[in-house]
Amino acid sequence: MENTNDKKQIVFSAIQPSGTITLGNYLGAVKNWVKMQQSGEFDCIYALADLHTITVRQTPSVMRQNIINAYASILACGIDVEKSPFFIQSHNPNHAQMAWVLNCYTQFGELSRMTQFKDKSAKHADNINAGLFTYPSLMAGDILLYQADKVPVGSDQKQHIELTRDIAQRFNSIYGEVFKIPEGFIPKDGARVMSLQNPTAKMSKSDENVNACVLLTDDNDTIMRKFKRAITDSEAHVCYKEGKDGINNLMSIYSSVTGLSFEQIEHDFEGKGYGDFKVAVGEAVINELEPIRKRYEQFVKDKKYITECYTKSDELAFKISRRTMDKVMKKIGFIK
């Protein structure tokens, strides 16, 4: 991958390694990573954002395995490191260096207003550390290091993109046009997948209810069981409208996997009950995930292949990002 091609916009995106990827991670982000890579329209750069994970305490052995599992999962989804680097963030020291520099160009008040900081502080009241407060500066560094034009994000990350733009504009106003100002965008096909047991909350691997979340490693019977138990409503009418959070979520999942519009789904299931619809969604998801699961099982056992993939990607990511880091250091006044 060459980022010197002026015709192609640079896309940067990263995901935290919480172990096995969920259906929500896949439909909300990774499936679109693959589409953007395959389109040939962009120079794509992808990362496993493991530095971000330590704002919450981790068990070292579990964290190491989570990184391997997440990396294997995303390769299994279709990311090709021959086309786009998919690197491990902690292997590139430019990220930590840029994060410190940008901390000094980020205002305390800006970080105080970040809603995710407030949410995570409430969840981890016994460990409200400085990293939890300043990690938006690290995220800004992740993006700005690669002179990204576009950053695909979920709606919950838009605030961080705005902050990244503000930091970049502030730096540029002092030192000249150093950073490209990135644009956040929510991909058209990106589904916000909600919990199958509480459809007002985002699907999460950490959910205490095992039936709430579908994992890419779930076998076919487990996937079907989870969809059959999905929370719906008493109306028994498959249609997308306010107040039908459970059915809306299932329709979003079904649409993302099959490519069918909501109107077509409503037409296809006119007069049919929720039981039929849940089975159809389960079957569609099984068809989508089964080949991914088989590739994952192959990759996760092949440590040599995984190491080769991330080593090659790490080297390319370092080379690209170092150009920006060197320019930043020179502009500020550090000596080489």
Q: Which of 8, 35, 180, 202 is catalytic?
A: 202
Task: For 34-96, give the secondary structure using H, E and C.
Answer: HHHHHHCCEEEEEEECCHHHHHCCCCHHHHHHHHHHHHHHHHHHCCCCCCCCEEEHHHCCHHH
CA 243 to chain centroid: 28
- How much is the pLDDT for 189? 64
Say what percent of the chain tops pLDDT 90.
Answer: 78
pLDDT classification of 118: cutoffs 50, 70, 90: confident
Q: Which amino acid is at 155?
A: S
CA angle 53, 29, 274 (to 5 degrees): 115
How does pLDDT run across 195-219, given as a tens digit for each residue?
999 999 989 888 889 999 999 999 9
Domain boundaries, the chain: 9-191+303-332, 210-297
Q: Which of 120, 150, 226, 244 is catalytic?
A: 120
Beta carbons of 151 and 190 less than 8 angstroms apart:
no
Known catalytic membership, residue 120: yes
Q: Which of 8, 35, 180, 205 is catalytic?
A: 205
Closest CA to 11 of 180, 168, 257, 172: 180
Known catalytic membership, residue 205: yes
Task: State how far the alpha carbon of 181 is from the alpha carbons of 10, 148, 170, 329, in Å.
Answer: 12, 8, 11, 19
**CATH (one of 3.90.650.10, 3.40.50.620, 3.30.1490.20, 1.10.150.530) for 9-191+303-332:** 3.40.50.620
How does pLDDT run across 261-296, given as a tens digit for each residue?
999 999 999 989 899 999 999 999 999 999 999 999
Beta carbons of 196 and 212 less than 8 angstroms apart:
yes
Can you give the pTM of this predicted structure?
0.91
Nearest-10 Cα torsion for 18, 83, 296, 246: 60
What's the CATH fold of domain 210-297? Tyrosyl-Transfer RNA Synthetase (1.10.240)
Tokens linked to 238: 């498959």
